Structure 1
Amino acid sequence: MSVLEKFGVEIFTQETIHHRISADKPFRPDNPAFLFIKSGTIKLRQHLSDLELTANTFIVTDPQTVYELISISDDFQSRMVSYKREFISALSLKFNRLITYRYFRQQMNVGVPFSQDDLDVVWKSVNFLKYILDSETEMTYKKEIVE
């Protein structure tokens, strides 16, 4: 069983991102994701518009959008947090999820800049989450820690 199936969320690095993004052909992701870019650039075609994402930005990808990978720079560093909708629905967060999701999908699918300090905090948090997800050590409350 994959991490995504077990916990509802999975983290991809720049080395493993090819599992999520197909090259040389249009694709539609299976699940929504947050793509955080620490360094370098990635060029995507989103529907028919070209989009260049650079360091200290993030984008929300969504399964209703068609993407095409155009290029990735050699110094590209990223983390992609892919999640199942059921994962978000199961969280006990106090906001309207539908309104929030629509906002993210409409406003944050073009590349949102981060300050270096903010990206550093997110980067460390995502790496910690990846460590927890990848750990084969039995942990009490692992699912709750992930949530």
Structure 2
Amino acid sequence: MKPPYRPRLHRFYRAASRLALRRASTLRTADGAPCDVWLDDVSLTGCSLSGVPALVPGASVLVGLSGVGARGGRVVWVRDGRAGCLFDLPLSAAEFDLAKQAGIIVRANFGASLAPEEPTATAPAARRARGAGAIILGALLCLLAAAYSIGLV
């Protein structure tokens, strides 16, 4: 006979789905001192941080969210330099979209370079050879045209 069915209880229940970000952020504890941390993921109701200082569950914190600003919350769990925070006031859908898009970096060449390119050794020589070849070809065409005009060819 089989033992009775036992439902498996999950250790963590999440009220909202999370979006993985892995973005730099700033955490402020109760004393107000800023600390650089990594914002691993965010949801409407909270976030996960890594690289955090020694925190205790229940501590009040301010988490910097790009595009939204600082959001107050409390620490729910702490483990191995990581922490989970529950926001005091959940993010609105618009704030969540701002936080999601604020870290997007556009990489493009807008016509300016931060450092001048190093010229290669063959580039100037190749330009000189092309220039000299064009001059010689032009001179030969002029001589040929002059020879036709006086009837030598």
> Which structure's relative contact order is higher, taking Cα pairs within 8 Å and 6+ residues apart?
1
In which range does the TM-score fall when normalised by the shorter chain?
under 0.3
Kindly indicate which of the two structures has a greater share of residues assigned to helix.
1
The two structures have a TM-score, normalised by structure 1, of 0.26
